[in-house]
Amino acid sequence: MSALDPAMDRANRADRSAERTMVNSRRSLYLAGEDMDLVWSVADVRKFDAAWRDDVPLAEIAEVLGRDADEVAILAIDRARRGRIQPRAGGVFGKAVRLC
């Protein structure tokens, strides 16, 4: 047995310990929105974009698309980040908000 064997053994134990830590840390992750359907057809995205431009309230868009309002809100965030929709005076409430 050479003098490197104990050092190699310690390194291997450290590697295994690090792997266990990584696995355990993944087990303690929280995945937000796991229960939401965030997959959209191109047709529904186009309907969303048109409704947004027409100042339709987000809750009404969700109803028309048959989707949860939270899912539509995530789509709105995505479309805004990509520059596909613009901010509007009523925000997510669209024409439902009276501005003073």
pTM to 2 decimals?
0.68
What pLDDT, on the 0 to 100 scale, is given for residue 6? 72
User: So where are the chain's domains?
Assistant: 1-30, 42-96
What pLDDT, on the 0 to 100 scale, is given for residue 26? 63
How many secondary structure helices (H) and strands (E) does the chain include? 4, 0
pLDDT per 10-residue tile (average), the chain, 100 residues? 65 71 69 93 98 95 97 97 94 72
Per DSSP, the three-state class of 80 is: helix
